[in-house]
């Protein structure tokens, strides 16, 4: 098979794949205004205390880095582990897949593992882990859940679409008149 044919087939496969992805994105985006509205409402009420502490497993280990004798003697680094099977029922379904793609996701244990060793105190590091978990969930939600479109923005988009359509029709009419002027008008010639 010639290389140009293979390239053409690959190109066709890429085009087909991109169409499927576009179709998937459009169905995902239109997954329901009700679901998106529910996600926005959930996001407004979500706070660090919304995650039950009993679902999390916190362990402490020796920290690393500067600190001298304190680093070698005290287990101040906090590691928070939360199973996704217990966390996901508390979150909107739109957040499930992005959390699995998070840098904190451990696929072997199907859990989120977050560590903090900023402070010399265990309690501060444990609190920092919960803050990181809250920040992870809120940042993921902000990326995934689309914002509300204002009425002014909707009107602006409609105006731009109308103007684009008018410009397109004007260009078509101009092209048509240009071709019409090239045609012979009578049988006399």
CATH number of 27-144: 3.30.160.20
Tokens read off for 137: 């969930």
Percentage of residues of the chain with pLDDT beyond 90:
29
Average confidence (pLDDT) over 153-166: 93
> Is the pLDDT at 148 greater than 80, yes or no?
no
53 DSSP 8-state letter:
G
124, 36, 121, 90: which is closest to 112 by C-alpha?
Answer: 90
Rounded mean pLDDT of 7-14?
59
What is the pTM (predicted TM-score) of this model?
0.62
Reported as a single tens digit per residue, the pLDDT across 42-59 is 888 888 778 888 888 888
The CA dihedral of 160, 164, 170, 176, to the nearest 10 degrees, is -170
List the one residue out of 91, 95, 94, 99 whose CA is nearest residue 34. 94
Which region, left, alpha or beta, applies to residue 29 given φ > 0 means left and ψ of -120 to 50 means alpha?
A: alpha
Express each pLDDT in 164-185 by its tens digit.
999 999 999 999 999 888 887 6
Under DSSP, is residue 55 helix (H, G, I), strand (E, B) or coil? helix
Give 35's pLDDT tier (boundaries 50, 70, 90): confident
How far apart CA 189 and CA 186 sit, in angstroms, is 7
Distance CA 149, CA 153 (A): 6
Model confidence pLDDT, tens digit, residues 88-138: 888 888 888 998 999 999 999 999 999 998 888 889 999 999 999 999 999
Q: Which residues contact 135 (CB under 8 A, 6 or more apart)?
A: none
């Amino acid at each position: 098979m010639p290389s140009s044919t293979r390239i053409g087939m690959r190109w066709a496969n890429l085009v087909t794949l991109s169409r499927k992805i576009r179709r998937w994105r459009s169905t995902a985006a239109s997954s329901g205004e009700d679901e998106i509205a529910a996600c926005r409402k959930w996001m407004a009420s979500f706070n660090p205390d919304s995650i039950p502490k009993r679902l999390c497993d916190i362990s402490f280990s020796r920290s690393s880095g500067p600190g001298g004798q304190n680093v070698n003697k005290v287990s101040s680094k906090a590691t928070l582990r939360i199973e996704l099977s217990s966390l996901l029922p508390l979150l909107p379904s739109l957040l499930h897949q992005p959390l699995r793609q998070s840098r904190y996701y451990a696929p072997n244990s199907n859990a989120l593992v977050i560590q903090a060793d900023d402070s010399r105190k265990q309690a501060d590091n444990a609190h920092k882990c919960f803050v990181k978990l809250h920040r992870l969930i809120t940042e993921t939600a902000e990326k995934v859940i689309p914002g509300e479109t204002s009425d002014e923005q909707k009107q602006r988009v409609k105006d731009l679409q109308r103007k684009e359509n008018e410009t397109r029709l004007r260009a078509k009419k101009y092209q048509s008149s240009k071709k019409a002027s090239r045609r012979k008008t009578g049988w006399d010639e």
